[in-house]
């Protein structure tokens, strides 16, 4: 898998290529050795030969023979996910049906129906890149349908994605952005959900390498610079613990592992701190060898030994021994105060738990007999099946709902009788009501959480005991859609609202019927369609509903013409011109749009408010209906969603130098509230850097001030220079750019 990268590409002779392919194939067989039963080796060879023959004329973007990709995917399946023979065969064949002349019937004939079904699942979802939005979410729906049918499909798909991300260098920049966004948006959370923590962190890190290249390089550089002092500290921290564990006669491994670049970057962003201030750059892991019946007890004994040596932070204890996560993860996490006043996270788990944490679902099957956590996975699958079975046409919303419902951590809450319910983080009392039964959800007027009365929007926390209060007079309202986070509750609320809307729309229908009859026009489909499109509604239901609630001025009907009994809409006074960009720019797929260059006069565009791009930022153009072209930064909070859902509307964009136009951007400064500090800041910005200040707000509290300054800059260089110079002022703690309108 990694060997491919070690050999220079593009310039291998046919003989060298053959050797390379054979070496990869033998490596795969070596990894499979412990799992091979009689006849398996021949099957794997047949699959390899079938794939090699089918792909023999194909090359990857890097120039290497295509067969190296299925081989690498198969090795990831075996070595990193712990899958077996059948999955290996499927991984080798995963691209054949889509890209070559081989059919599903051929695969079924040679390898049986189970393998054919998995390959079919992989084929349905392999082309999730570069299709229009609803198609993409549809494909994602298919992924999930196959997942609930046979989770191996998703595991092989994840292996495929890992290899694509590892070899993304040879792709074009916009492809890199799109594939990386999709990885962060869907595949990394999915890997997490399947319990594959190593793969999840690698996917996040690789995506960050392309989406945030500068930050990625910077953190990687700082990590390698601090490696030696970290190792020294880890050894100092571990030494007394080792002695205690040896004395207690535990069989154990103990080591420190660095946190991933992506998770460090996330901490820096969320807490607005510099790299140097992220205290938990690494975690200590203790893995004990204990028989199943003693695992829990021994983990707590180890916890006791650690906390004898170092003081724990009580609110940072995570007990996933008593309550494993729904993806099977079990461990005990604690954060303790180590030497030199540094907080250190310690993770305690048994060998079995460690395997489940690294290999996720595949290891989970191996230990299936336990029964207890198996039901958690089943519950999760069951919930997905339920959501998939409800026919909701809006696939984009489906993807969003799926993320908030199934790809986040869970909380555990109790019914009044003490039964446990598992809900995603962020769930409300209303979600809980729907999780019991939709009839209870629809009539929910409030809840008692831990015996206290709360509104339906109350956010639940793990360990809450919830009792739902209902009333037969209650009806769901529009704002319920924003109160619930689970996909099941969302779709039930929408159904109930539709039903309610239909009843009201019926009144609107009668009003229109009477109006048309008075006007001498027939009440028929043609006339309804004319009215619906004239008033710009998507469906006649919406039109009737708005008529019923009196938000439409029907006096305009007098301007319509009659042809027999058919209505004809009056001609609009001015044509709507917002299609200007859509035609040219988005059609020429590879053409780059230059903003503020010679060609820029012909293109109407706006700069996105969500991220306020300025020249020099990495940007992409996005064609939106009604607004034409909007320019977003690639690290905009909405970028991942736009790039992964609507790839077909993305246009490559770059800046041309232009010193005439200034852009408004914001800087947030935090520092010590010292005499004259404001003066220093304004002197630097207006006097030395000669930049115009648009607005300035300063708030001081208990010796610390926080200032938001809006300034006009020509480009990113000017902004970076001002941030650098401001940081050099005495008493300034942090200087960051902020993008949102409200700052």
Reading the block at residue 52, the tokens are 């090699």
* Radius of gyration of the chain measured on its C-alpha atoms: 30
List the catalytic residues: 98-99
pLDDT recorded at residue 202: 92
pLDDT recorded at residue 10: 52
Partners of 619 in beta bridges? 633
C-beta of residue 143 within 8 angstroms of C-beta of residue 383: no
DSSP state, residue 465: B
Biggest CA pair distance of the chain: 99
DSSP state, residue 410: E
Q: How many CB atoms lie within 10 A of CB 299?
A: 22
Reading the block at residue 672, the tokens are 């010590």
Reading the block at residue 414, the tokens are 């109790």
How many angstroms separate the CA atoms of 485 and 571, rounded?
44
C-beta of residue 595 within 8 angstroms of C-beta of residue 654: yes
Residues 372-382 as b/e (b if ≥16 CB within 10 A, e otherwise) read ebeebbeebbe
pLDDT recorded at residue 384: 64
pLDDT recorded at residue 163: 92
Superfamily covering domain 221-373: Beta Polymerase, domain 2 (3.30.460.10)
Q: Name residues whose C-beta falls within 8 Å of residue 510's C-beta, 6 or more positions apart in sequence.
A: none
pLDDT recorded at residue 378: 61
67-80: pLDDT as tens digits: 889 999 999 988 88
Reading the block at residue 33, the tokens are 């050795």
How many angstroms separate the CA atoms of 244 and 262, rounded?
34
CATH number of the domain located at residue range(s) 663-738 in this protein: 3.30.70.260
Q: Is 428 helix (H, G, I), strand (E, B) or coil?
A: strand
pLDDT recorded at residue 7: 41
Length of the chain, in residues: 743
Phi-psi group of 418: left, alpha or beta (phi > 0 → left; psi -120 to 50 → alpha; rest → beta):
left
Q: Dihedral through CA 709, CA 714, CA 718, CA 722, nearest 10?
A: -10
| CATH class of this structure's domain 3-170 | mainly alpha
Where the chain has pLDDT below 70, the residues are 1-12, 124-150, 361-408, 571-604, 625-627, 645, 647-648, 656-660, 739-743
Q: Name residues whose C-beta falls within 8 Å of residue 92's C-beta, 6 or more positions apart in sequence.
A: 44, 47, 48, 50, 51, 70, 71, 73, 74
pLDDT recorded at residue 307: 92
Among residues 19, 441, 585, 87, the alpha carbon closest in space to that of 70 is found at: 87
C-beta of residue 133 within 8 angstroms of C-beta of residue 107: no
pLDDT recorded at residue 599: 44
Q: If you average pLDDT over every residue of the chain, what do you get?
A: 79
How many angstroms separate the CA atoms of 444 and 386, rounded?
21
Residues 614-643 as b/e (b if ≥16 CB within 10 A, e otherwise) read bbbbbbbbbbbeeebbbbbbbbbeebbbbb
Sheet holding 650-655, edge to edge: 593-595, 650-655, 619-624, 628-633, 605-607
Reading the block at residue 460, the tokens are 């639940």
CA angle (602, 605, 609) in 5-degree steps: 165
Give the start-to-end residue ranges of the domains of the chain. 3-170, 221-373, 495-568, 580-655, 663-738
Among residues 296, 292, 409, the alpha carbon closest in space to that of 349 is found at: 296
Among residues 675, 740, 733, 741, the alpha carbon closest in space to that of 707 is found at: 733
440-462: pLDDT as tens digits: 998 898 899 988 888 888 999 88
- The DSSP annotation for 9-66 comes to SS---HHHHHHHHHHHHHHHHHHHGGG--TTHHHHHHHHHHHHHHHTTT-B-TTSSBT
Q: Name residues whose C-beta falls within 8 Å of residue 213's C-beta, 6 or more positions apart in sequence.
A: none
CA angle (358, 5, 184) in 5-degree steps: 50
Reading the block at residue 560, the tokens are 């319509």
Partners of 670 in beta bridges? 706, 734
The angle, 0 to 180 degrees and rounded to 10, between the axes of the packed helices 152-166 and 173-182 is 150
C-beta of residue 110 within 8 angstroms of C-beta of residue 98: no
How many angstroms separate the CA atoms of 198 and 263, rounded?
12
pTM passes above 0.75? no
Residues 64-87 as b/e (b if ≥16 CB within 10 A, e otherwise) read bbbbbbbbbbbbbbbbbbbbbbbb
pLDDT recorded at residue 243: 92
C-beta of residue 620 within 8 angstroms of C-beta of residue 643: yes
Residues 658-667 as b/e (b if ≥16 CB within 10 A, e otherwise) read eeeebbebbb
DSSP state, residue 76: I
Q: Name residues whose C-beta falls within 8 Å of residue 499's C-beta, 6 or more positions apart in sequence.
A: none
pLDDT recorded at residue 591: 42
pLDDT recorded at residue 382: 64
């Amino acid at each position: 898998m990694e060997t491919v990268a070690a050999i220079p590409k593009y310039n291998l002779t046919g003989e060298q290529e053959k050797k390379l392919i054979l070496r990869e194939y033998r490596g795969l067989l070596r990894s499979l050795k412990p799992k091979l039963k009689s006849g398996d080796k021949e099957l794997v060879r047949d699959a390899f030969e079938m794939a090699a023959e089918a792909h023999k004329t194909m090359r990857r973007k890097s120039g290497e023979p295509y067969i190296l990709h299925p081989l690498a995917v198969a090795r990831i399946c075996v070595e990193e996910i712990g899958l077996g023979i059948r999955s290996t065969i499927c991984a080798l064949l995963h691209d054949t049906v889509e890209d070559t002349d081989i059919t599903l019937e051929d695969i079924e004939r040679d390898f049986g129906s189970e393998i054919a079904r998995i390959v079919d699942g992989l084929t349905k979802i392999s082309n999730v890149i570069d299709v229009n939005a609803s198609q993409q979410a549809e494909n994602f729906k298919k992924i999930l349908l196959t997942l609930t049918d046979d989770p191996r499909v998703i595991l092989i798909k994840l292996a495929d994605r890992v290899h694509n991300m590892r070899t993304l260098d040879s792709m074009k920049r916009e492809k890199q952005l799109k594939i990386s966004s999709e990885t962060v948006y869907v595949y990394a959370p999915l890997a997490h959900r399947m319990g594959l923590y190593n793969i999840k962190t690698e996917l996040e890190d690789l995506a960050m390498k392309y989406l945030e290249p500068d930050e990625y390089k910077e953190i990687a550089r700082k990590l390698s610079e601090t490696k030696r002092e970290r190792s020294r500290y880890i050894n100092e921290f571990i030494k007394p613990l080792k002695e205690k564990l040896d004395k207690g006669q535990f069989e154990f491994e103990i080591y420190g592992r660095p946190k991933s670049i992506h998770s460090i970057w996330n901490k820096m962003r969320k807490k607005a701190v510099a790299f140097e201030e992220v205290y938990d750059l690494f975690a200590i892991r203790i893995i004990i060898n204990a028989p199943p019946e003693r695992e829990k007890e021994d983990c707590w004994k180890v916890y006791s030994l650690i906390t004898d040596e170092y003081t724990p932070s009580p609110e940072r204890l995570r007990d996933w021994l008593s309550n494993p996560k729904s993806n099977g993860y079990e461990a005990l996490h604690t954060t303790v105060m180590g030497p030199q006043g540094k907080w250190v996270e310690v993770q305690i788990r048994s060998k079995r738990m460690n395997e489940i944490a690294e290999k996720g679902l595949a290891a989970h099957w191996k230990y299936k007999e336990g029964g207890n956590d198996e039901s958690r996975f089943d519950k999760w699958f069951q919930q997905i099946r339920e959501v998939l079975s409800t026919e909701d046409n809006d696939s984009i919303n489906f993807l969003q709902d799926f993320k908030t419902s199934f790809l986040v951590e869970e909380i555990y809450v109790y019914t009044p009788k003490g039964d446990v319910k598992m809900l995603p983080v962020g769930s409300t009392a209303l979600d809980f009501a729907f999780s019991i039964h939709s009839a209870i959800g629809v009539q929910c007027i409030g809840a008692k959480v831990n015996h206290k009365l709360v509104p339906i929007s109350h956010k639940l926390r793990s360990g809450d005991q919830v009792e739902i209060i209902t009333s037969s007079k209650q009806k769901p309202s529009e704002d319920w859609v924003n109160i619930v986070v689970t996909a099941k509750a969302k779709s039930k609320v929408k159904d109930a609202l539709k039903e309610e809307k239909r009843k009201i729309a019926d009144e609107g229908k009668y009003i229109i019927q009477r109006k048309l009859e008075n006007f001498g026009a027939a009440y028929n489909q043609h006339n309804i369609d004319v009215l619906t499109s004239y008033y710009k509604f998507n469906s006649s239901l919406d039109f009737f509903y708005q008529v019923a609630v009196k938000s439409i001025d029907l006096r305009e009907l007098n301007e319509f013409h009659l042809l027999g009994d058919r209505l004809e809409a009056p001609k609009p006074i001015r044509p709507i011109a917002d299609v200007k960009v859509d035609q040219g720019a988005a059609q020429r797929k590879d053409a780059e749009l230059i903003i503020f260059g010679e060609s820029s006069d012909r293109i109407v565009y706006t700069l996105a408010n969500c991220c306020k791009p300025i020249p020099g930022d990495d940007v992409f153009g996005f064609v939106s209906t009604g607004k034409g072209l909007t320019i977003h930064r690639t690290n905009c909070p909405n970028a991942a969603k736009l790039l992964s859902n609507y790839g077909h509307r993305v246009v490559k964009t770059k800046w041309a130098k232009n010193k005439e136009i200034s852009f408004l951007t914001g800087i947030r400064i935090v520092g010590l509230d010292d005499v004259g500090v404001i003066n220093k800041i304004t002197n630097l910005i207006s006097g030395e850097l000669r930049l115009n200040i648009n607005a300035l707000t300063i708030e001081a509290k208990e010796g610390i001030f926080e200032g938001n300054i809006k300034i006009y800059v020509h480009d990113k260089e000017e902004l970076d220079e001002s941030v650098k110079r401001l940081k050099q002022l005495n008493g300034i703690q942090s200087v960051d750019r902020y993008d949102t309108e409200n700052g």
